[in-house]
Amino acid sequence: MKRLVIVANRVPDPKERGATAGGLAVALQDAVNRRDAMWFGWSGKTAEATAAEPSLLRQGRLTYATLDLGDSDYRRYYQGFSNGSLWPTLHYRLGLAQFSRDDYAGYREVNAAFAGALAPLLRPDDMVWAHDFHLFPMGAELRRRGSRQRLGFFLHVPFPPPAVFAGLPRSAELLADLAAYDVIGLQTEDDAAHLRAALAAEGHAEAAERVSAFPIGIDADAFAKLAERAVEKQEMARFRRSIAGRALVIGVDRLDYSKGLPQRFSGYGQLLARYPEQRSRVTYLQVAPVSRGDVAQYQALRRELDELVGRINGDYAEPDWVPLRYMTRPVPRPTLAGFMRHARVGLVTPLRDGMNLVAKEYVAAQDPADPGTLVLSRFAGAAPYLKGALLVNPLDPDEIAEALDQAMAMPLKERQERWEPMAAEVREGSARNWCQKFLAALEG
Ligand code: ADQ
């Protein structure tokens, strides 16, 4: 079997494996366990200058190769162009995008530095799989250094209609860079169609043919077990007591403006305002760990949410009831899984999202004998795959309130009828299958 080289902005911590690890590390674990593999990327640390050579750590068949980033590269490549320009543009939010040529130069320089450090480590028959928007130019930089390996790219976030992407300065160069990859994966058919059109419009018709949808998934059985075990724990018993028989609505998101949190909180406020009988029945727990806390827009979002939470609780709380519980600290995955299993409603309303794994985790965590209802944004990548959800426009707080009211009243039979096909879909579209399908395409 060919060695797999995974390139990602962040390399997972070698100490965090299994249940404690998150996201990409979990999704790729299976592929990495079965063959020789290398994780290549940023160490998560900054230094005076970006390292020219990676530090290597071997763990059995797996090698971690990581680079420290220079302070100025971190600002330009990571905070600047990746998070400040590309992230909002790819989430259809051109109005939030900031652009500077200096940041863009930093982005290209770090991609070149990654390729420069990686190229000498590559064997002729390696397969290279680059992840996400931080690495559009990395494949082209490898090719410039003589790489002939199969190069794959997967975009975890949405790809907007070509006219939106074209609004980003230098976007045509990024499309030209993508043409260096042999396989280009996106989350949904819509994303794939957008990218194909954008590539074709820039004269990269051949590259457009290499674009396909590979919807990412989770390890549903493992998550279900985690959830089942979590509810037996003492801390869950304490939590259930504190809910005092009320139905739980759960939200779990990184604190990010793409997740639609202000509109979601307003939607919950509308539920309490328009359906007063719900006040004695419901408690909403939102877990939203701070993310990118050093970026101004994220600080502003946090202030906005602090105010909204205060307003909703101030307006509706009773001496013995807090309507909205809000945590910005990270919560261990087993505890999250337990919250999800106990929740009568999973509330997942991003304004745009590549896939949204929380929606799939909520489905996987449910008790088949008494499943809850998923209220899902129609603009999450998961929406076309999870047809049993109540779909909402996340910009419309009234629609969110109506869906919450409907979810709270939904009889068991309907909940099961909606949940069963979703559970099958989540099991079927697993992280393992996602990985295998992409690697099969990459192998050619
Ligand atoms: P994210 O934007 O981070 O991922 P998401 O898909 O929901 O969004 O994944 C978040 C993961 O982190 C989930 O596994 C979730 O359980 C976990 N998580 C969230 N809050 C947590 C907390 N408080 N404590 C512990 N874990 C927490 C990006 C894209 C998505 C795409 C994924 C995968 O933005 O659209 O689905 O990559 O491709």
Which residue type, as a one-letter code, is found at position 313?
N
Mean pLDDT of 97-118: 98
Mark whether 199 and 251 lie in a shared domain. no
Residue 426 CA to residue 196 CA, distance in Å, equals 27
Distance of CA 317 from the midpoint of ligand 1 (Å): 30
Mark whether 229 and 178 lie in a shared domain. no
Mark whether 365 and 287 lie in a shared domain. yes
pLDDT at 21 over 90: no
> Which one of 252, 256, 286, 292 would you pick to mutate in the ligand 1 pocket, going by the greatest count of ligand atoms within 8 A of its CB?
252
CATH of the domain at 96: 3.40.50.2000
Query: Is the shortest distance between the CB of 177 and ligand 1 below 6 Å?
Result: no
Distance of CA 83 from the midpoint of ligand 1 (Å): 16
Query: Is the shortest distance between the CB of 384 and ligand 1 below 6 Å?
Result: no
Percent of the chain with pLDDT over 90: 91
Query: Is the shortest distance between the CB of 156 and ligand 1 below 6 Å?
Result: yes
Mean pLDDT of 411-428: 98
pLDDT at 431 over 80: yes
Q: What is the pLDDT of residue 17?
A: 56
Give the contacts of 221 (CB within 8 A, at least 6 positions apart): 364, 427
> Which one of 355, 361, 379 would you pick to mutate in the ligand 1 pocket, going by the greatest count of ligand atoms within 8 A of its CB?
355
Q: Read off φ and ψ for residue 2, nearest 5 degrees.
A: -65, 150
Structural domains of the chain, count: 2
Task: Write down the mean pLDDT value for the chain.
Answer: 95
Mark whether 232 and 211 lie in a shared domain. no
Mark whether 159 and 261 lie in a shared domain. no
Residue 202 CA to residue 180 CA, distance in Å, equals 14
Query: Is the shortest distance between the CB of 252 and ligand 1 below 6 Å?
Result: yes
Mean pLDDT of 397-415: 98
Tokens read off for 438: 């992409």
Give the ligand 1 atom nearest the CA of 256. 2
Q: In what order do the strands lie in the sheet with 183-186?
A: 55-59, 62-70, 37-47, 4-10, 127-131, 150-154, 183-186, 211-213
Q: How confident is the model at residue 19 (pLDDT cuts 50, 70, 90)?
A: very low
Mark whether 151 and 252 lie in a shared domain. no
353: annotated active-site residue: yes
pLDDT at 84 over 60: yes
Residue 141 CA to residue 181 CA, distance in Å, equals 11
Q: How confident is the model at residue 33 (pLDDT cuts 50, 70, 90)?
A: confident
Distance of CA 210 from the midpoint of ligand 1 (Å): 27
Q: What is the pLDDT of residue 321?
A: 96
| Cβ proximity of 50 and 70 under 8 Å | yes
Range of 405's domain? 220-427
Mark whether 264 and 405 lie in a shared domain. yes
Query: Is the shortest distance between the CB of 91 and ligand 1 below 6 Å?
Result: no
**Could you read off the pLDDT of 199-239 as tens digits, one per residue?**
999 999 999 999 999 999 999 999 999 999 998 899 999 99
| Cβ proximity of 312 and 305 under 8 Å | no
Mark whether 225 and 369 lie in a shared domain. yes
Q: What is the pLDDT of residue 20?
A: 46
**Could you read off the pLDDT of 285-305 as tens digits, one per residue?**
999 999 888 888 899 999 999
370: annotated active-site residue: no
Least confident among 24-33, 46-55, 264-273, 366-375:
24-33
Give the ligand 1 atom nearest the CA of 330. 23
Q: What is the pLDDT of residue 22?
A: 56
Mark whether 173 and 254 lie in a shared domain. no
DSSP conformation letters of 113-169? HHHHHHGGG--TT-EEEEESGGGTTHHHHHHHTT--SEEEEE--S----HHHHTTST
pLDDT at 15 over 90: no
Mark whether 232 and 143 lie in a shared domain. no
Distance of CA 277 from the midpoint of ligand 1 (Å): 33
Mark whether 47 and 177 lie in a shared domain. yes
Mark whether 78 and 207 lie in a shared domain. yes
pLDDT at 16 over 90: no
Q: What is the ipTM of this complex?
A: 0.97
Buried b (16+ CB within 10 A) or exposed e, 116-125: bbbbeebeee
Residue position matching structure tokens 């139905």: 247
| Cβ proximity of 309 and 265 under 8 Å | yes
**Could you read off the pLDDT of 156-210 as tens digits, one per residue?**
999 999 999 999 999 999 999 999 999 999 999 999 999 999 999 999 999 999 9
Catalytic residue among 91, 131, 156, 194: 156
